[in-house]
Chains A and B, each alone.
Chain A
Amino acid sequence: MLCECGQYEATIHEVIITKDKKKVERHLCEHCARERGVSVDPYIPISQLISSASYIMGQVITDEDASPDDDFVSESTSDTIKPRPTMKTKPIHQSCVGCGQTFSSFKKSGLLGCPACYQIFEDRIGPMIERAHEGGCNHVGKVPRRALSESKDANDTNRIEALLGDIRQREERLEALRGRLAKSIHDEEYEQAAMLRDELTRLTSLASSQIESAPNRSTPTSDSAPA
């Protein structure tokens, strides 16, 4: 694909969501991208990722010292959404019950404080994590072997759910995998499809064993730790 200048191959592809939620795509060569202030750096620092992801969620997080009564004010004059906007919203004071870390300190360091942070900040970090992992939002693959085996032997539903999720979560994951499997088959990516099918089979068997062990349970009790 050629750049808008019509001279060089477009290597930078930018997608902008306008205020009326329309998607605008731009395809530029490096030269034009630099001229128009579009980043050509492929290595996005976690802080920028966090900033962008917060924006995508429509929930821009400000520093904790901002006034709690500030309205959501956009200083942007353009009708398109710019990266790193200067906007204010209600501050978020919540800190992790496990380690005391706040979301603001995570934004600065890019590191979470303890396993419980994932639970406490799940709603806010979920979209960022999804973006950092090319859309991956659910773990696929290995589960701690000994912990799962012990939990099953003891018929400990809480521990099983801490590892595999509750029935609703498992169903959601299975559904997502089925969707990916259908797409792989459609795209004729058969090796990928075979692996997804194996993963589906594995998850289904894990899930059915849990259902057998806890037929009436549906309350989510997932914890960050298996034990």
Chain B
Amino acid sequence: MQAADDTPSGSNPMRGPAFTKKAEWLRGLGESNDVVMSSRVRLARNISGFPFTPQASRLDRTQILEACKHRILNMTTSPSTQFMWIDLHEIGREDRNLLVERQLMSRQHAKGKLITGKGGLDEPRSVAVLTPDERVSIMINEEDHLRLQTIRSGLALGACLEEANELDDQIEAGLDYAYHPRFGYLTACPTNVGTGLRLSVMLHLPALKLTGELDKMRRAATDMGLAVRGFYGEGSESSGEFYQVSNQTTLGKSDDMLLREMEHEIVPKIVGYERHARKNLLSNRREMLEDQIWRALGTLRHARLMKVDEAMELLSLVRLGVLTGIVDDVTLEQVHGLLLSSQPIHLQRTLDEVLTQQQRRAARAQLIRSQLGCGTSGGKTGGTAGGTSG
């Protein structure tokens, strides 16, 4: 049994290198990794005998949190991993946003605000993160008492679901879940009831955007009962043609049925459309494609000020360039690294400085230039953020 490491008093565990290095879901490996950036499985669970979080009193929430903490920190994980427990009501905004940027929890959990508008920063709520690879995180007192997430790079929903189910059983071994014979696992919002299971994939669809077929794909996905969201999930806009696609139906279909639909029917179909669009662009509109990609790389290599959304858009095109062989002096690893390190909090943590928005734009441009090489070659050298001033 591996219990969580107690935080040394007076030091912040999220200040260490573990929380600025590349996350598991951005490794860029796995099946269909040319289109599928990552796979994620989320289980929503509630403990019986308590109101759901939005209706729960502060005392209820504290008790729920303590019960979950005791259970989670006593779960068995592999010898090389352990859960790190983070009380969100006791850490600062920067640390909370760092966890959001790393896709370990939702934006609303960071704010402590519920859909009803209730709550706030001091609401008792936590997140448990499996370290060191961060492939599991468990939010406590979000909309539901427990929201367990497993995340991996590439198309790996089956592996994510298997691990989520194992951990779910371990939690249930010590806590009674709210369950109903007709409605299954009970959740605060009836749209999650039943399996409480959300299977989602983050897809990179730049070619469908360039061929103007993206809206058609989005409509088709919606017709199939899927939700299409942006890079940071619910409420976020797409950035750089990265989309999260997930099931909406959770009642009337078992875990296996939902998995089969997503992993063997829906995702391969969308992956097929994107690959077909890439092939078409290479065959019929190569000049336009090359122009777009080299312009993007040129801007990244020479810009002096860079907004985060612009960085995402340009990195998305360069990623397409690497995958289509148009760009050969940049690696996928570099692009994926920059997708994360360009985010506001990661940027500041990498530089170990608190920056204004304008300073962040300059620092981001400088970081990207140093990573991608400022010129026509040398993209693989990968400098550091502390390079020459822009």
Contacts and interface: CB of A to CB of B under 8 A. Distances in A.
Interface of A: 11, 42-43, 46, 98-99, 101, 109-115, 118-119, 122, 125, 128-129, 132-147, 161-165, 169, 191-192, 195, 198-199, 222, 224-227
B183 A129 contact: yes
A144 B177 contact: yes
18 contacts: A46-B189, A46-B191, A114-B52, A115-B178, A122-B182, A129-B190, A129-B251, A136-B249, A144-B179, A146-B169, A161-B181, A165-B181, A165-B182, A224-B179, A224-B180, A225-B48, A225-B176, A227-B176
A115 B186 contact: yes
Given A99-B55, A114-B55, A161-B181, A139 B251 contact: yes
Contacts of A142: 165, 184-185, 195, 254-255
B169 A136 contact: no
Among A109, A125, A134, A139, the one with the most B-chain Cβ atoms within 10 Å of its Cβ is A139
B50 interface: yes
A109 B260 contact: no
B182 A111 contact: no
A119 B181 CA distance: 11
Contacts of B193: 118, 129, 139
A109 B181 contact: no
A113 B222 contact: no
Contacts of A191: 260, 264
Interface in B207-254: 219, 222-223, 225, 227, 248-254
Given A145-B172, A226-B48, A139 B183 contact: yes
Among A114, A137, A161, the one with the most B-chain Cβ atoms within 10 Å of its Cβ is A114
B252 to A, nearest CB: 2
Chain B binding surface, main DSSP class: loop
B116 interface: yes
Nearest to A196: B257
Contacts of B219: 11, 42
B353 interface: no
Given A147-B176, A222-B180, A140 B50 contact: no
B172 A133 contact: no
Contacts of B172: 144-147
Contacts of B46: 115
B321 interface: no
A133 B191 CA distance: 7
B355 interface: no
B298 interface: no
Chain A binding surface, main DSSP class: loop
A99 B195 CA distance: 24
Contact of A224 (B48, B143, B189, B190): B48
B52 A111 contact: yes
A113 B70 CA distance: 25
Given A98-B51, A111-B116, A140-B257, A226 B249 contact: no
Interface residues of B, number: 50
A113 B52 contact: yes
Contact of A225 (B178, B223, B227, B248): B178
B352 interface: no
Nearest to B187: A112
Contacts of A199: 254
Given A141-B256, A195-B257, A222 B181 contact: yes
Contacts of A222: 180-182
Contact of B48 (A99, A143, A227): A227
B266 to A, nearest CB: 14
Contacts of A136: 194, 249, 251-253
Contacts of B250: 133
A163 to B, nearest CB: 6
A109 B184 contact: no
B188 interface: yes
B225 A134 contact: yes
A7 to B, nearest CB: 18
Given A46-B191, A109-B116, A141 B255 contact: yes
Contacts of A114: 50-52, 55
A192 B176 CA distance: 31
B183 A118 contact: yes
Given A136-B249, A195-B254, A224-B48, A42 B181 contact: no
Contacts of A224: 48, 178-180, 186
Contacts of A227: 48, 176
A110 B179 contact: no
Contacts of A169: 181-182
A145 B52 contact: no
Contacts of B91: none
Given A162-B181, A163-B179, 17 more contacts: A101-B55, A110-B190, A111-B188, A111-B189, A114-B52, A114-B55, A129-B183, A139-B183, A142-B254, A165-B181, A195-B260, A198-B256, A222-B181, A222-B182, A225-B49, A225-B179, A226-B48
